[in-house]
Structure 1
């Protein structure tokens, strides 16, 4: 049993689901040329309920839409899933300039002749990868239209002027979607119906503590508890609309602890990675007050780490 399946067992995932994952992996081996695309995630996603929903969806042949607010671990889970299923990943970050030819591919001149350059969706489809469609609700409608036949029961991709391509049995697409970001829009019903939608919850205190300790195993328990409570207090203020979600940043919290481990005192480290991400002076003062009430500004690494 590989390390990822051991992790699933530790998370309390059903043994039947783990067995099905093992069988899937044995049946679908990744070509050697693409093994470098199998992710080795820096962070783990914690949450038995979400894990079981996601694993069962993929085993059932579904594509997944991970929706939820900032800092709920959508991209972490997407990378974790690819690692668990030992699948190569093709990442697509949607923005205004992503069009159908960028996704599928286009003709290009290689210096001697015109050849077809495959796009990430076509490469993923052919090679049994997991396509991570990041911020899918920022995409233009004409770009998304090309995905319809890929994501539904047809599982094919028709490239004009070329052969009709059927998807590899192992191919899945995992889309992520944040609420309320600038430039986002509601997904149309036709596209949304092609996904199993998982509503991502905010991380709880216990799992956040596990995440910090896994990244920094020598952090002192009482100090770790203070960082967890600091994050939850910022989260509470964001939920009540006292502040925006700019300071609600798990990556920022872990980054601040990393700076402290390198020798920067707690005050400047938290300012750089959390407080200064809010650019409104009034909001920055509110976040700073929360930090000052919870974490002394002069803690050094000898105090924070064992």
Structure 2
């Protein structure tokens, strides 16, 4: 575990030292190496990192809210990496129930046993549970989390036993606003989290991310691509377009195809423009692309 990227961002030395002590106090059990992950690009943002680290050190759970492409999942993965914890991801959807979280009965060696679910294992092994799109969770699933998230820190498994949470276990929920199938979180659930509202991406953050992922990107290309994303972000905020085209993964995927030799203009078509299925919206996005990415550009203009 390397803390250099925290030091580079100016994160408080006292917090970094507390994280080191946490890792020393709670070594990861053998056999969980495949649950450990290193983020491809660590989260960038001193204040957000300090708030999140302080909350987790205090034993609190986190809820990361905000618009699409603000880095919620990147932050969650980065925090698990910082604290040196195994991760257990749960992507909530309309059919996610308590069985997926706790586990289900299965027949093994001539007897009924419990096949442990992700939250059960997270509780046992002191992992970080990443609860993705938690505002899509059904009441059945949320009820499992209530006792695990408050001062009781237990999971009551019907027909088995109460499972106390490992002292290093934490839950990090993420939620987007306004997605189909989402709903407001009830007050009882929200009260079990400390909430961080993720700010929209800035030019500085985009430059950092691009430099980290594509260090050989030319400065002019970096400015043009970051400008394209920020233009789309502004139009989405003003409700001129939906957030379909506001896709950072799509932008990075497009840059990757440029490295393979695809024309930058065509690369942005498949990474950004074609994410829009409404013809009127697609034309608006295409116009934004034309102002930033000339059709005559070649991959040599990018790298």
Fold-level similarity (TM above 0.5):
yes
Moved over 3 A (4+): none
How many angstroms apart in 1 are the aligned matches of 2:143 and 2:240?
39
Please name the residue that 1:300 is paired with: 298
> 2:104 matched to which residue of 1?
106
Aligned ranges for residues 130-141 of structure 1 at < 5 Å? 130-141=128-139
Q: 1:260 and 2:255 equivalent?
A: no
Corresponding residue number in structure 1 for 2:23: 25
Query: Which stretch shows the higher mean deviation, 268-277 or 105-114?
Result: 105-114
Q: 1:191 aligns with which of 189, 192, 200?
A: 189
1:204-254: CA deviation from partner (whole Å, max 9, x where unpaired): 101101100111111111110111111111111111111011101111111
Secondary structure of 1:161 counterpart: coil
2:77 & 2:240 partners in 1: Cα distance?
Answer: 32
Matched, 1:93 2:91: yes
- Cα deviation, residue 44, structure 1: 1.8
| Distance in structure 2 (CA, Å) of the matches to 1:169 and 1:195 | 17
Corresponding residue for 1:34? Answer: 32
What RMSD, in angstroms, separates the aligned Cα atoms of the two structures? 0.9
Aligned partner (choices 4, 7, 17) of residue 5 of structure 2: 7
Q: Deviations over 1:77-128 (max 9, x none)?
A: 0000001111000000001111112211121113632111111111000000
Give 2:173's aligned residue.
Answer: 175
User: 1:250 and 2:251 equivalent?
Assistant: no
1:274-285 correspondence to structure 2 within 5 Å? 274-285=272-283
Q: Structure 1, residues 158-216: CA drift from partner, whole Å, max 9, x if none?
A: 11121211110000000000000000000000001000000000111011011001111
Which residue does the alignment assign to 2:143?
Answer: 145
Partners of 2:284 and 2:8 in 1: how far apart? 39
- 1:79 maps to 2:77: yes
Q: Give the distance between the partners of 1:207 and 1:106, measured in 2 at CA.
A: 43
1:92 and 1:220 map into 2 onto residues whose CA distance is: 38
Q: Residue 55 of structure 1 corresponds to which residue in structure 2?
A: 53
Find the counterpart in structure 1 of residue 204 from structure 2.
206
Unaligned runs of 5+ in 1: none
3-state DSSP class of the match of 1:175? strand
Q: Deviations for 1:45-85, whole angstroms, at most 9, x for unmatched residues? A: 11111000000000000000000010000000000000111
Q: Distance in 2 between the 1:226 and 1:303 partners? A: 11
Looking at structure 1, the residues matched to 37 and 75 of structure 2 have their Cα atoms a distance apart, in angstroms, of 12
Worse-matched range after superposition: 127-136 or 92-101: 92-101
Question: How far apart, CA to CA, are the structure 1 residues paired with 2:279 and 2:161?
Answer: 57
Superposition TM-score, scaled by structure 1 size: 0.97
TM-score between the two structures when normalised by the length of structure 2: 0.98
1:288 equivalent in structure 2:
286
Rounded to whole Å, the distance in 1 between the matches of 2:213 and 2:297 is 19
